[in-house]
Structure 1
Amino acid sequence: MEDQTLQRRAEKLDPREQHHWLDEAPTARAGPTAHRPVHQQGGRAMDAPREQQHQQKIPGYDLGSDKVAKSPISMEEWEELKKSALFSEEDIVYLRLSGEILEDQVQDLLQVWRGIIFDHAHLRAYDEDPQTHKVDTEYASAVAKRFGQWIHDTARAKYDKAWLDYQYEIGLRHHRTKKNKTDNGHTLGHIRARDLLAFSASIVATMKPFLAKKGHSPEVVNRMYDAWWKSMILQATLWVQPYVREGDF
């Protein structure tokens, strides 16, 4: 019944209704009481939602702050990119659903992804001191925390200018422009574009079992999976902008 309801809403809602529904989606979900009125939360004003508090504790997580570089991509150009990837309002609906499903699986996903990185020397090198070939554990830990937050951000993205700017910032932090600077790291000073793009496939290709863990139908799982692929391709496209000669992106 839940799957059928979700599909009806995703497929039949007027676009204006979809935007209204998405605006009410759990963009900072912090458990079942996070969006209830104050009088339903024990009669007292609540502190910031747990997710917001968590974000504030992540070093270098600067989404929406003036520390983030401004993306050269305009909102109009972003709309064109979405069309190129066939990324639709329905995809946003299924990403929102995936956020609820993945909420308590973030660390498990990170373990899979970080395992892939550390199992391959050419990827692990980006976390190592090039002189000693030892992993910079402080750098790797800081990056992993933001990587986990990225899962939430992908599922709950508002696709506004702040989000677009942060994608550019992520690209700069992989590029020699800002690699190591956020965390004062002692690792290789540049991630090759080919590894950034290719590893993006490892991120989504391993997700389907996690998306299927909460009992949704295969059709709904596949739609979430497709939405993640589109989002991943779009984000990776934005991340490589610093690697592309001006005028060629």
Structure 2
Amino acid sequence: MAPVPRTSSPSPSVALSRDAVVAALRAAGCVFAEDEAELILAAARTPDELTAMVERRAAGHPLEVVVGWAEFYGRRVVVEPGVFVPRRRTEFLVAEALAQAPRARVVVDLCCGTGAVGVALAAALGQVELHAADLDPAAVRCARRNLAAHGGQVHEGDLFEALPAQLRGRVDVLAANVPYVPTGEVSLLPAEARDHEPLSALDGGADGLDVLRRVAAGARDWLAPGGCLLVETSERQAPAAIEAFTQGGLTTRPAVDEELYAHVVAGTRNP
């Protein structure tokens, strides 16, 4: 996306009109310029902030980072710069988790990013023991803001190494929104993701399943009897993901939402 042309920008002390915001976003290539303009206008607190937000969006920054939040599973979650932006298709992972374990009391959001999945599960399930973990310090800081209202704890570290030992064998829902883009395809992602989200949240290795395999191999030790691991993947990767879950000792079931083009693999630890 091109930056907002300086020749058309007003003085910083003068607020941009709605039409000017729409025009700047449309010129920068924003497909839903009108909708985005409404969100930016609502979020900006001063004329200077409005101008800066429009310029950041026109320069290609994710809209969710520009306005500071994303809507996910009917709730707003804080989105800070440099953190993976939750995708709408991941709402299917939440729905599948709730269907699999409607009475879950111990929930872990692994590779949590903003913590959106954990927040959605806690809001739907009620009083739960909620934990989240991520390798990225920026994600951990952001997730702590989002999980605070639910009494959740956020841990920094590499997958299961980050979790408290007392969770071993007690987890009812282990949701892991792992990176699953093959290394060779990261460059094909939209610039919003490629340039503004951490590579560790996108790159899943040669076939995109490196992290998924590690999670599948270690999950059974952390799940309670009847507990469930759920991971998002792609249609192409689903057979290999199912094999990894099966090798990890889990009873496995794939699920698909055609409307969201979302693919989830769920694995249960048998009692």
Q: Tell me the TM-score normalised to structure 2 length.
A: 0.26
Q: As a proportion of its length, which structure holds more helix?
A: 1
Higher relative contact order by CA 8 Å / sep ≥ 6: 1 or 2? 1
Q: As a proportion of its length, which structure holds more strand?
A: 2
Q: Tell me the TM-score normalised to structure 1 length.
A: 0.28
